Amino acid sequence: MIIDTEVHVIYRMFPRELDPERSLVEPWTWHELSGDLLVAEMDRAGVDKAFLISYGAEDLPLMIEGVGRSSEEFISGKKYHKAFFRKYPERFYWFATVPNPRRADCLETLQKDFEEGATGIKIFPAQINMNLNEPKLLEVVNLARKNDKRVMLGLEEATEKTPPLMSLLQQLDSEVLSQFSDVHFQVNHGGCIDPLSSEADAVFRMARRHDNLFLSTAFLGYVTMERGYAEDRHEYPFPTQLKRLKRLYEMVGPDKLMFGTDWPWVEDCRKYIQDVDSVRKHADFMSAKDQEKFLGLNAMRYLG
């Protein structure tokens, strides 16, 4: 069983009609990266299921502003994601991005998402400019707990205008994960700290301390779009990513890490199957048993 713990669908991004300077090698500028295409890529790569995280421009203001774009240049959203979740219920688990918890209808929106089949929620604390220990956000986590749902966190895009990354990690480690020890949390991009840097100790310690924490591993070291994404670009088998994965694996062990691709964000430079093969054929630092855990069994425990 192979489970990809981070994917999205995008109708169009930086469309050529608005951005004629963009290159044709960026597929989103001229065609759809749909759930149909994603399922075809999953079939070719032998991936059984994926965590489909729904978001649109309203959920990612910092990312879009950070690259000097406007919301009309990123066309996707909950409705679009849900259409494919409904079409392929046996292939996707749906995670709904949490709207700004300061909105009066936030909890009501999420309750409806749960009733419509969401497996869990995705929180981007930087995008909503909130600390993880703020009462409004804890109410959201509590709602997930009451509904027996999973929580996913994207700590990327933290800048000087948002709560800093190290504070978010600290809040997670010392408050949130213990307060909600019965809720399973997934932190994406390995916590957004380069595992080869000394700051990564914070992530290693946190992962070892909390049984309810899992780390998804798409683009390890990714902090903000502006500072670079997927450094290996098209250099198969993505040696920097593998080096970081190896370090993380050595520091947190085989039971915490989950495979993720973040498709289709780097469709301009690599194919989906290569991200899977990079692990299957080149992560030789993992035993066959640990590779099975990484590619799917840990995700099944997270879903538990």
Work out whether 262 is an interface residue with Zn ion (CB under 5 A): yes
Nearest CB to Zn ion, comparing residues 152 and 286 = 152
The residue among 202 and 225 lying less far from Zn ion, judged by its C-beta, is 225
d(CA 191, CA 214): 10
In the complex with Zn ion, the residue whose CB is nearer, 114 or 222, is 222
* Counts of helices then strands in the chain (DSSP H, E): 12, 10
DSSP H stretches of helix in the chain = 35-45, 61-66, 78-87, 106-115, 135-146, 165-171, 177-179, 201-209, 239-252, 272-282, 288-292, 298-303
Binding mask 216-255 for Zn ion (x = CB under 5 A): ----------------------------------------
- Cβ closest to Zn ion, residue 127 vs residue 171: 127
Which is nearer to Zn ion, 5 or 171 (by Cβ)? 5
Q: How far is the CB of 287 from Zn ion (least distance, A)?
A: 28
Do residues 303 and 10 make contact, with C-beta atoms less than 8 angstroms apart? no
Q: How big is the site for Zn ion, counted in residues (CB under 5 A)? A: 2
Beta bridge partners of 13: 74
Q: Are 144 and 177 in contact (CB under 8 A)?
A: no
Query: Least separation, in Å, of the C-beta of 146 and Zn ion?
Result: 26
**Does residue number 4 form part of the binding site for Zn ion (CB under 5 A)?**
no
Rounded to an integer, what distance in angstroms lies between the CA atom of residue 19 and that of residue 88?
32
Peptide linkage before 89 cis (omega within 30 of 0): no
Which of 5-13, 91-99, 140-148, 161-169 is the region at the interface with Zn ion (rule: CB under 5 A)?
5-13
Q: What share of the chain is helix, strand, coil (3-state, %, to 5)?
A: 45, 15, 45
Residue with the CB atom nearest Zn ion in the bound state: 262
Measured CA to CA, the distance from residue 33 to residue 300 in angstroms comes to: 26
Name the minimum Å distance from CB 97 to Zn ion: 10
Our CB check for Zn ion shows the closer of 57 and 286 to be 57
User: How far is Cα 132 from Cα 101, in angstroms, rounded to an integer?
Assistant: 11
Comparing CB distances to Zn ion, the nearer of 107 and 269 is: 269
Q: Minimum CB separation from Zn ion for residue 117, in Å?
A: 20
Select from 3-11, 43-51, 99-107, 290-298 the region that touches Zn ion (CB under 5 A). Answer: 3-11
Q: Please report whether residue 157 would count as binding Zn ion according to CB under 5 A.
A: no
List of residues 6+ apart from 112 with CB closer than 8 A: none
Smallest distance, Å, CB 8 to Zn ion?
6
Q: Pick from 250, 186, 260: which is nearest to 217 by CA? A: 260
Q: Whole-number minimum distance, CB 209 to Zn ion, in Å?
A: 25
- Quick one: 6 or 194, whose CB is closer to Zn ion? 6
For residue 100, how far is the Cα from the chain centroid? 18
Chain positions contacting Zn ion, by CB under 5 A = 6, 262
